[in-house]
Chain A
Amino acid sequence: MPNKMPSPPKTSFWARLFSHQIVIPIAALLILAIFNLISDPTFFRIVFKENSSGNKVLSGNLISIIDNGSELAILAIGMTLVTAASGGQDISVGAAIAIAGSAMLRILCGGSSSPTELQSPIILAFIVGVLVAMFFGAFNGVLVAFFKIQPMVATLILFTAGRSIASWINNGELPNVPGKEFTYFGSYIPGVPVPTPFLIAIACFIVIFLVMKFTNLRLYVQSVGINEKTARLNGLNPELIKLMSFVILGICVAVAALIKVSRISSINYSVIAKDIEMDAILAVALGGNALSGGKFSIGASVLGAYVIQFLTTTLYKLEVSAVALPAYKAVVVIILVVMSAPTVREKLSRLGKKLRSGKTGAESAKA
């Protein structure tokens, strides 16, 4: 569709507005914010008080959102790259989080289920977790890039088997990590009033921002996603770039896994990060990225992730009955996804142009 018609001259304000990808998640955030402001202004109150370990920390609905949405936001970074490069999605990230988390706990607890002290330094456990997650990312990547299997089918393997692998790593035990240090990643570092998951997420954004700024990763990923053959003719190696996007997603998975297992100092293989893959894909879609690959905006995806968390927190606050909760979420999500679909955005921007330039403009657009 975009190729067939000449791109509209970007003169009108609305046309320019709707051509920006990031507008949709921002608009969604605003709508949710206004809705909450009207229904209950205290929603936005943030207080500064002590938690039970004696730290002064911020708390409030907004803090809960940036806290709980951070794992999803981190995953959204990797998922955007995978989507852009391969034109498909990785549905195994939830299972991969279980694997990486399980590997970290195995290192931390040394195979026993309730040790009295940490068996290894946390950094070592994290590095092992990252390596394990990168390995499984590379496994998916090889299937997609070299064997040309549809990403959703290729990652279905790990989606099915991942949680059993995670359980096998710890012999089916559910280890509990002793000590306070490990809980810092999922709650608060003493003396820092902002939840650590959000700080970790910001660190990830900065890293990926710098990578995008100082390397050609964005250009390479986009060109492979738009047209693999042309990219190859221009001297790129599409297989390698696809593989790389999956490995980067693997790193994101490991970071998210660290936060997830730190939140409860333990793991439950079947429910940890359950259905998070769907939310991560949704975040990419809400960010207005084409799920068929090509151009992408990581910032928009990340905002999309926080929109999803905003929605969840709002629904909890409204006390929607538990049985109806998924239905409410689905309705809002459908509206948001339709709004952010590239074709709809194009229609909207043309509509905006029509409104600006009046009848003559409308007729010329028809012709």
Chain B
Amino acid sequence: MNGKKLFAIFTSTALCAAMLAACGNSDSSSGGTASNGGGSSDKIIKVGIINNDPNESGYRTANDKDLQATFTKENGYDARFSYSLKNDEQIAAAQKYIQDEVDYLLLSAADTAGWDSVLKEAQEAGVKVILFDRTIDADPSLYAASIVSDMAKEGQTAVDWLKGQNLDKYKVIHIQGVMGSAAQKGRSGALNDAAAADPSKWEIVSQQTAEWSSEKAQQIVQAAIDQNKEFNVIYAENDDMAKGAVAALDNANISHGVGKDVIVMGFDCNKWALKELLNKNWNYDGQCNPFQSSYIVDIIKKLEAGETITEKTIIMEEKGFDANTITEEDVNTYGIGEEEAK
């Protein structure tokens, strides 16, 4: 008994000691890098990256891979990543990074609201914040720069393209993303405006949310077909939903693509979707650029050189692809996903 007790006490003290030692070690090492880094030109820049879950979509996977490839040890960064689709978890991660004294906090916020206090903490701690992909509702003085896609512009580019098709009548099935998301708002807005501006020519036959899901999109288009509705355009707010819609068209023997009965439009430029364009099964795909890291690196370099960022909101260049003009090269350059295959 006594022996056992002694052993237990001994092991627990040993464990405690080990823990303390471990804490001490990590403290000193992080302090060390900070002091080593100060002043010298080839210093390691510590960045904390808070992103959404890479499994969310092909877009996010490409986005994460791009960041992972850029912020490496070889490129002079000590990067830490944390992923969450929930705002509170992201805020907790941000607080942890601030405590760890990172130099830059890169943030793609799950939600637009609730970031003020943690960004103030960052400012007080001297951590510079760069937003990517998504904006937040906070005072611009709280962050250094914001690199975003202009979803409304993406929608406008697509609708302008559609207008350029010079159809006599536009009868559109509009499949929306998750209601209230920035992508949905921007992409829906342009189409709604176009339909409202010229009701004699434009008619939205059916408008439903499929919540980015191809199965739901298939059901929505199926329901429209079952009711014998006439339509000649499918405007799906992402590629997956366009794919689901096309599956429903195929079941009903409705032709789609270049020179066919129904125009199919998608967004995000997944590689498989661009291949559909190349095969002329779809007509249009709008880009949503996931490659923000080069823009971020530019900003960091400027800040490190002591420059001030004058234009805080940087809108990335985004294209729209037409099935008639897309090339094999476009598919390989701009298509996202399937990196391993190439």
Chain B residues with Cβ below 8 Å from A51 are 250-253
Contact indicator B55/A114 (Cβ below 8 Å): no
Contacts A263-B215, A271-B213, A325-B209 given: A52-B226 contact, CB under 8 Å?
no
B282 to chain A, nearest CB (A): 14
Q: Nearest B residue to A113 by beta-carbon distance?
A: B338
B55 touches which of A53, A57, A167, A176 (Cβ 8 Å): A167
Interface: B182 (CB within 8 A): no
Task: Name which of B94-102, B116-124, B241-249, B310-318 contacts chain A.
Answer: B241-249
On whether the beta carbons of A263 and B247 are closer than 8 Å, the reply is: yes
- Residues in A neighbouring B61, C-beta threshold 8 A: 172, 174
A323 and B179 form a contact (CB under 8 A): yes
Q: Which residues of B contact A266 (CB under 8 A)?
A: 243, 272
Interface residues of A in 250-273 (CB under 8 A from B): 260, 263-264, 266, 268-272
Identify which of B211, B222, B251 contacts A188 (C-beta below 8 A).
Answer: B251
Report chain B residues within 8 Å CB of A292.
none
A60, A272, A319: the one contacting B206 at CB < 8 Å is A319
Decide: A317 near B227, CB < 8 A? Known: A51-B251, A68-B219, A271-B211.
Answer: yes
Cα separation A268 to B226 with both chains bound (whole Å) = 26
**CB-CB < 8 A to B209: which residues of A?**
322-323, 325
Question: Which A residue sits closest to B256, measured CB to CB?
Answer: A52
Residue in contact with B213 in the complex, picked from A53, A188, A268, CB distance below 8 Å: A268
With a CB–CB cut-off of 8 A, which chain A residues contact B54? 167, 172
Check if A187 sits within 8 Å of B213, measured CB to CB: no
Interface readout for B227-260 with A: 1 if CB under 8 Å, 0 if not? 1100000000000100110010111111100000
* Pairwise interchain contact A59-B252, C-beta atoms closer than 8 A: yes
> By the criterion CB–CB under 8 Å, are A322 and B240 in contact?
no
Chain B residues, CB < 8 A from A274: 211, 213
The answer on a CB contact under 8 Å between B53 and A270 is: yes
CA A112 – CA B253 in complex, angstroms? 31
* Residue A164 is within 8 A (CB to CB) of chain B in the complex: yes
Which residue of A has the minimal Cβ distance to B85? Answer: A270
Contact of B214 among A53, A264, A269 (CB under 8 A): A264
Chain A binding site: helix, strand, loop or mixed by DSSP?
A: loop
Most chain-A CB neighbours within 10 Å: which of B211, B227, B251, B271?
B251
Distance (whole angstroms) from the CB of B288 to the closest CB of chain A: 16
Q: Does A148 contact B (CB under 8 A)?
A: no
Residue of B nearest to A324 (CB): B179
Q: Which of A40, A59, A270, A319 makes the CB contact (< 8 A) with B225?
A: A59
Interface contact A269-B253, CB-CB below 8 Å = no
User: Quick one: given A59-B252, A316-B220, A317-B223, are A260 and B208 in contact (CB under 8 Å)?
Assistant: no
Contact with B along A315-340 (1 / 0, CB 8 A): 01101011101000000000000000
How many angstroms from the CA of A113 to the CA of B58 in the assembled complex? 12
Q: Could you say which of B54, B243, B253 has the most chain A C-beta atoms within 10 Å of its C-beta?
A: B253
In contact, A61 and B338 (Cβ under 8 angstroms): no
> With A and B bound together, what is the CA distance between A22 and B338 in angstroms?
49
In the complex, what distance in Å separates the CA atom of A188 from the CA atom of B248?
Answer: 12
Report which of B222, B240, B250, B253 forms a contact with A64, defined as CB distance below 8 A: B222
**Does A19 have its Cβ within 8 Å of any Cβ on chain B?**
no
How far, in Å, is A222 (CB) from chain B's closest CB? 34
Check A163–B211 contact: CB distance below 8 A: no
Interchain CA distance A51-B218 in the complex, whole Å: 15
Known: A50-B253, A187-B251, A319-B206. A268 touches B227 (CB 8 A): no
Question: Are B251 and A264 interface neighbours, CB within 8 A?
Answer: no
Shortest distance between the CB of A48 and any CB in chain B (Å): 12
Q: Min CB distance, B219 to chain A, in Å? A: 5
B179–chain A nearest beta-carbon distance, Å: 5
Tell me, rounded to whole Å, the shortest Cβ–Cβ distance linking A181 to chain B.
15
Chain B residues lying within 8 Å of A322, measured Cβ to Cβ, are: 176, 179, 207-209
When distances are taken between beta carbons in the complex, the residues of chain B under 8 Å from A343 are none
Query: Measured between alpha carbons, how far is A101 from B58 in the docked complex, in Å?
Result: 17
Chain A min CB distance to B177 (Å): 10
Within 8 A of A (CB), among B43-82: 53-58, 61
Closest to B243 in A: A264
The answer on a CB contact under 8 Å between B250 and A312 is no
A164, B272: Cβ atoms closer than 8 Å:
no
Question: Once the chains are docked, how many angstroms separate the CA of A303 from the CA of B239?
Answer: 33
Q: Are B215 and A270 in contact (CB under 8 A)?
A: no
Residues of A within 8 A of B247 (CB): 187, 263-264
The CB with the most chain A CB atoms within 10 A, among B58, B226, B249, B255, is that of B226
Give A328 to B313 CA distance when docked, in angstroms: 40
A232 at interface, CB cutoff 8 A: no
Q: Is B212 an interface residue (CB 8 A)?
A: yes
The answer to whether the Cβ of B340 comes within 8 Å of any Cβ in the partner chain is yes
CA distance A98 to B247 in the complex (A): 20
Docked CA distance A61–B61 (Å): 37
Q: Which residue of B lies closest to A271 (CB)?
A: B213
Interface residue from A52, A269, A271 paired with B212 (Cβ < 8 Å): A271
Q: What is the chain B residue whose CB lies nearest that of A195?
A: B251
How distant is the Cα of A343 from the Cα of B244 in the complex, in angstroms? 42
Known contacts being A173-B337, A270-B55, is A313 close to B253, with CB within 8 Å?
A: no
Would you call B206 and A53 a contact (CB within 8 A)? no
Please tell me if B305 contacts chain A, counting CB pairs below 8 Å.
no
CB closest residue in chain B, given A46: B226
Interchain residue pairs with CB less than 8 A apart (29): A49-B253, A50-B253, A52-B254, A53-B250, A59-B226, A60-B226, A61-B223, A68-B222, A112-B341, A113-B340, A113-B341, A114-B271, A164-B55, A166-B55, A172-B55, A173-B338, A173-B340, A174-B58, A176-B272, A187-B251, A268-B214, A268-B240, A270-B55, A316-B220, A316-B223, A319-B206, A322-B179, A322-B208, A325-B208
Besides A50-B253, A171-B340, A322-B209, 11 new A-B residue pairs in contact (Cβ under 8 A), listed by A number: A64-B223, A112-B341, A113-B338, A113-B341, A264-B218, A268-B57, A269-B55, A270-B57, A271-B214, A272-B213, A317-B226
> Sorted from nearest, which 3 A-B pairs have the closest CB atoms?
A322-B209, A316-B223, A167-B55
